[in-house]
Amino acid sequence: MIRSRLERWFPEEYEEYKKTIGRKYTVDDLRNTIEKDNYKLVRVDDINGYINIKDKAVISCPNPKHESYEAVITGILHRGNRCKKCYLESLGGENNPSYNPELTEEDRKERRSIFGYKNWRLKVYERDNFTCQKCGDDKGGNLVAHHIESFRDNPDLRLAINNGITLCEKCHNNFHNKYGYGSNTRNQFNNFME
């Protein structure tokens, strides 16, 4: 007998899943599930009180700033799918894995909208003939304009063309894997290029 991955890798979850196979869900089942998280059921199509879990339901988010949204019922019942806007907001700020507590709010705003950054990047690429200066890769689509002196520590050099160099993603990752992110120096870069 061939067993599914779910059955082999997650036997307890598979037993719970088996209980739901062929089960009929009612509108009340759906309503009770979402109301535990303070959501409200706005609309769902039903046949004599039963719902098709492949259909969609319209749900109202508890956050008054968010609009009602449509979601597939099976995702709501089995995966706990909720408001995408709430989910994305929960990943912002200090909850974001890339959050840097050392940056001020002013630094964050400046980082998001440095006027001239795109132009700086293009000028670096053009100067380097759209070619990685470490390995010579010139196929494109994978280039990075790398700041030689750290972006974070040198605000006056952020848009200086001579502080940028073209690397492919692989070489760029190799540099940062070796020297870390932030506080990078020209000496580190020169050693990397040797």
Q: Which two tokens stand for residue 166?
A: 């073209």
For 90-135, write each residue's pLDDT tens digit: 777 787 777 778 778 777 776 666 678 888 999 999 999 999 999 9
- Show Cβ contacts of residue 30 under 8 Å, excluding neighbours closer than 6 positions: 41, 44, 51, 57, 73, 76, 77
Summarize pLDDT for 54-68 with one digit per residue, the tens.
888 899 999 888 888
Q: Model-level pTM greater than 0.95?
A: no
**pLDDT at position 1 over 60:** no
Q: In terms of C-beta density within 10 A (0-12 exposed, 13-18 middle, 19 or more buried), how is residue 102 classed?
A: exposed
The pLDDT of residue 13 is 72
> Whose CA is closest to 157, among 124, 112, 188?
124
